[in-house]
């Protein structure tokens, strides 16, 4: 049974439609990424899913609770990290974590110390003495500590250094392993590729593409420079499109056993070669240009 269900979810600001008829489901123990540039509707979608705004049309539910009409019950099942932080900066990190947990009726356990160590953060420092990156780590702790069914994150890796970005992705994998669902927005393709089960691409408020990541992980993107006659058929024997061998280069996507691809490439006039996982880049660029 889906944990989150969005049905024709729509939001207008006057004559401007920020989100247009979003249909989406999210299962427990699934990691879902919303992709798109600024202004594509990502944050609007997340705020509607949290019941912060009333939809113009449609509805969204979490565990059967309408996020607007029954928002308190819906939000009890969600931990949320906003894209722009507004924290109680007179508190220490530890006090903030305890305070927010107390609002849920929870008492943080030993996992706080373990997570703080992994994120390399001193939670006993006042927030006023922390950098923006350190504050984001504290905010991440407030989201990762509760064992709620759904975690929603808006651009979660903003201001984090590469090591901490990798650690956060590991934490999201851990949440999935515990049976939690994760929904996060991003414009960083390689992070989404690394952790998501499914990805949705938003364009001007509309969901224009829904992608199972397992399908992409089975594919390989092949790019090569040719120094002789270009092939006319691909590794599977089907004709290649004219643009696959344009300008003395070979560009194609391959799905199938790797030995078959390598055998075919060995018989081509290849001067240099790159074979890598297919990735989201070509799909994203179809809608938004260069990522």
For 188-223, give the secondary structure using H, E and C.
CHHHHHHHCCEEEEEECCEEEEEEEHHHHHCEEEEE
Q: What is the model's pLDDT at position 135?
A: 93
Buried b (16+ CB within 10 A) or exposed e, 61-72: bbbebebbeebe
Q: 168 and 238: one domain?
A: no
Residues 223 and 209 reside in one and the same domain: no
Domain count, the chain: 2
Domain boundary at 170, 199, 215, which?
215
116 and 79 within one domain: yes
Show pLDDT as tens, one digit a residue, over the chain (291 residues): 899 999 999 999 999 999 999 999 999 999 999 999 989 999 999 999 999 999 999 999 999 999 999 999 999 999 999 988 889 999 999 999 999 999 888 888 888 999 999 999 999 999 999 998 899 999 999 999 998 999 999 999 888 889 999 999 999 999 999 999 999 998 888 889 999 999 999 999 999 999 999 888 888 889 999 998 999 999 989 999 988 999 999 999 898 888 999 999 999 999 999 998 888 888 898 898 765
- Tens-place pLDDT, residues 167-197: 999 999 999 999 999 999 988 888 899 999 9
The range of the structural domain enclosing residue 51 comes to 4-215
3-class secondary structure per residue, 244-273: HHHHHEEEEEEECCHHHHHHHHHCCCEEEE
Write down which residue in 215, 249, 264 finishes a domain. Answer: 215
Residues 247 and 140 in one domain: no
Count CB-CB contacts under 10 A for residue 284. 22
What is the reported pLDDT for 104?
86
Residues 223, 204 share a domain: no
The rounded distance, in Å, linking the Cα atoms of 146 and 134 is: 20
Question: What pLDDT score does 96 carry?
Answer: 95
Angle at 50 between CA 81 and CA 14, to 5 degrees: 110
Cβ atoms of residues 10 and 58 within 8 Å? yes
Same structural domain, 176 and 235 = no
DSSP state of 277: E
| C-alpha distance from residue 196 to each of 23, 26, 136, 187, 200 (Å) | 18, 12, 21, 13, 10
Q: Based on the fold, state whether residues 209 and 222 are members of the same structural domain.
A: no
Q: What is the pLDDT of residue 159?
A: 81
Q: Is 196:253 a contact under the CB 8 Å cutoff?
A: no
CA dihedral 214, 287, 38, 20 (to 10 degrees): -90
Residues 167 and 250 reside in one and the same domain: no
Query: In this structure, are 68 and 176 located in the same domain?
Result: yes
* Domain CATH code at residue 171: 3.40.50.300
Residues 6+ apart with CB under 8 A from 133: 159, 160, 161, 164
174 with 233, same domain: the answer is no
**193/233 same-domain check:** no
167 and 59 housed in the same domain = yes
Q: Contact 94/145 with Cβ under 8 angstroms? A: no
pLDDT of residue 100: 92
What lies within 8 Å, CB to CB, of 156 at 6+ separation is 81, 140, 168, 184, 186
Three-state SS for 111?
Answer: helix
> Which residues is 234 bridged to in the sheet?
none
- Model confidence over 234-257: pLDDT tens digits? 998 999 998 899 999 999 989 888
User: According to DSSP H, which parts of the chain are helical?
Assistant: 42-49, 71-75, 93-103, 111-118, 132-144, 162-177, 189-195, 213-217, 258-266, 281-288
Give residue 290's pLDDT.
60
Q: Which of 177, 196, 215 delimits the end of a domain?
A: 215
* Residue 251: how many other CB atoms lie within 10 Å: 17
């Amino acid at each position: 049974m889906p944990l989150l269900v969005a049905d024709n979810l729509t939001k207008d600001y006057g004559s401007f439609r920020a989100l247009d008829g979003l249909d989406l489901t999210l299962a427990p123990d699934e990691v879902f990424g919303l992709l798109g540039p600024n202004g594509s509707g990502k944050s609007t979608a997340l705020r509607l899913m949290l019941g912060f705004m009333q939809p113009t049309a449609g509805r969204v539910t979490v565990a059967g609770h309408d996020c607007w009409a029954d928002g308190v019950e819906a939000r009890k099942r969600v931990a949320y990290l906003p894209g722009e932080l507004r924290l109680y900066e007179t508190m220490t990190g530890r006090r903030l974590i305890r305070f927010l947990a107390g609002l849920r009726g929870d008492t943080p356990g030993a996992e706080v110390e373990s997570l703080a160590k992994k994120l390399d953060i001193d939670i006993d420092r006042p927030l006023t003495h922390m950098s923006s990156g350190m504050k984001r780590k504290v905010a991440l702790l407030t989201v990762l500590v509760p064992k709620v069914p759904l975690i929603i994150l808006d651009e979660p890796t903003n201001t984090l250094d590469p090591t901490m970005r990798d650690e956060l992705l590991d934490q999201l994998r851990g949440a999935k392993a515990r049976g939690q669902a994760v929904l996060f927005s991003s414009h960083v393709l390689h992070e989404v590729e690394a952790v998501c089960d499914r990805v949705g691409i938003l364009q001007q408020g509309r969901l224009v593409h829904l992608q199972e990541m397992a399908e992409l992980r089975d594919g390989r993107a092949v790019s090569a420079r040719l120094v002789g006659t270009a092939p006319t058929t691909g590794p599977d024997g089907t004709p290649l499109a004219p643009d696959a061998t344009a300008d003395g280069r070979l560009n194609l996507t391959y799905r199938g056993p790797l030995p078959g691809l390598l055998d075919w490439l060995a018989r081509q006039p290849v001067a240099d070669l790159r074979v890598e996982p297919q990735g989201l880049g070509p799909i994203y660029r179809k809608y938004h240009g260069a990522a």
